Amino acid sequence: MSAEFQSLEILVDNQAADGLMAEHGLSVLIKAGGKSVLFDAGQKDALEQNTKALGVNLTKIDAFALSHGHYDHTGAVDFVLQENPEVSVYAHPKIFSRRFSIYPNKDAKEISMPAEERLVVANLLDSQLHWVREPTQILKGVWMTGPIPRFQPLEDTGGPFFTDADGRDPDPIEDDMAMWIETEKGLLVVCGCCHSGLTNTLDHIVAVSGRKRIWGIVGGLHLKNASEQRLGITVNMLRVYEPEFIVPCHCTGGAAIAYFKDHLNTEIQPGYAGYRLEPNAVF
Ligand SMILES: [Fe+2]
Ligand SMILES: [Fe+2]
């Protein structure tokens, strides 16, 4: 059953249109069938600043979904729940995991969901907090993937991610989820960081949605550390699914965006806070 897709608006991204705040993070507002869902909350201040600048009223949203428990997607959870204390929240329980990035010769950096945001979510009533452990329709025609199986051996989480500060326990980021929206033109796929890998994510969405046609892909694709071999298989898979457009943003990485432009006929339009997609968009 298709939702009547109305719009997608990037509220927080590493890049921003004039007059908006850029921040390493992501937040996207999707409207479909007269309802709306906020996907992620950015790192901290950009969501509040940009919603004010754009005239977006978070008190009206119907659902609030979290792609995974990294600080740059969950830092303004408290702000969203202050604006809209009764909004339905969707996430995987592993969003609460402690996690670290550890680059060679650098100290471990904690990249967990901030403690105060974890507390706000943990204190929600069961009737408001929906743990997503499988593909779940959160609004008519708007779905969260649930955890994404990792079948493609060339895809990894995209960084030196661990669940401990000593770097002994790799973090599979199993809470990573994407979203898809059923539209008349095909599926619109929205990724947070895509730590499961883009081919794994698209394969999963096509398998569980029962739909083969992908209209477009928007979001962070976390390919900044990807090998040319991995970029190659990603491009091969994109040629199979033939999305009309890709709006890579946040953590995708400039080299991956350039590779896509060089190797695909698909329209590649890098995203930014203030980017807006409507159903009649032509690519
Ligand atoms: Fe991210
Ligand atoms: Fe992430």
Q: What is the pLDDT of residue 282?
A: 87
pLDDT band at 3 (very low <50, low <70, confident <90, very high): low
All structural domains of the chain: 5-274 (3.60.15.10)
Tell me the CA end-to-end span of the chain in Å, nearest whole number.
24
At 29, the amino acid letter reads: L
Ligand located closest to 40 CA: 1
Q: What's the CA-to-centroid distance between 280 and ligand 2, angstroms?
A: 31
Ligand located closest to 252 CA: 1
CB-CB contact of 202 with 235 (8 Å): no
pLDDT band at 221 (very low <50, low <70, confident <90, very high): very high
Q: What's the CA-to-centroid distance between 25 and ligand 2, angstroms?
A: 9
| Nearest-5° Cα angle at 158, 153 to 161 | 110
Which pTM does this prediction carry?
Answer: 0.97
All residues at 6 or more sequence positions from 282 whose CB lies less than 8 Å from its CB, including other chains: none
Q: Tokens for 91, please give them.
A: 């996430």
Q: What's the CA-to-centroid distance between 1 and ligand 1, angstroms?
A: 31
Q: What's the CA-to-centroid distance between 68 and ligand 2, angstroms?
A: 7
The CA-atom distances, in angstroms, between 158 and each of 172, 179, 221 are 10, 19, 9
In the beta sheet, which residues pair with residue 238?
none
Q: What's the CA-to-centroid distance between 250 and ligand 1, angstroms?
A: 7
Indicate the DSSP class of residue 114: P
Q: What's the CA-to-centroid distance between 220 and ligand 1, angstroms?
A: 7
pLDDT digits (tens, 9 = 90+) for 226-281: 999 999 999 999 999 999 999 999 999 999 999 999 999 999 999 999 999 999 99
Q: Is the model's pLDDT at 2 over the cut of 70?
A: no
CB-CB contact of 38 with 77 (8 Å): no
Q: Tokens for 168, please give them.
A: 């002994």
CB-CB contact of 132 with 90 (8 Å): yes
Give the other-Cβ count within 10 Å of 219's Cβ. 31
CB-CB contact of 232 with 256 (8 Å): no
Cα distance between residue 278 and residue 187, in whole Å: 14
Sort strands 109-110 and 100-101 into parallel, antiparallel or unpaired. Answer: antiparallel
Ligand located closest to 251 CA: 1
Q: What's the CA-to-centroid distance between 212 and ligand 2, angstroms?
A: 27
pLDDT digits (tens, 9 = 90+) for 49-89: 999 999 999 999 999 999 999 999 999 999 999 999 999 99
Q: What's the CA-to-centroid distance between 255 and ligand 1, angstroms?
A: 17
Ligand located closest to 24 CA: 1
Cα distance between residue 248 and residue 191, in whole Å: 9
Q: What's the CA-to-centroid distance between 184 and ligand 2, angstroms?
A: 30
Indicate the DSSP class of residue 93: G
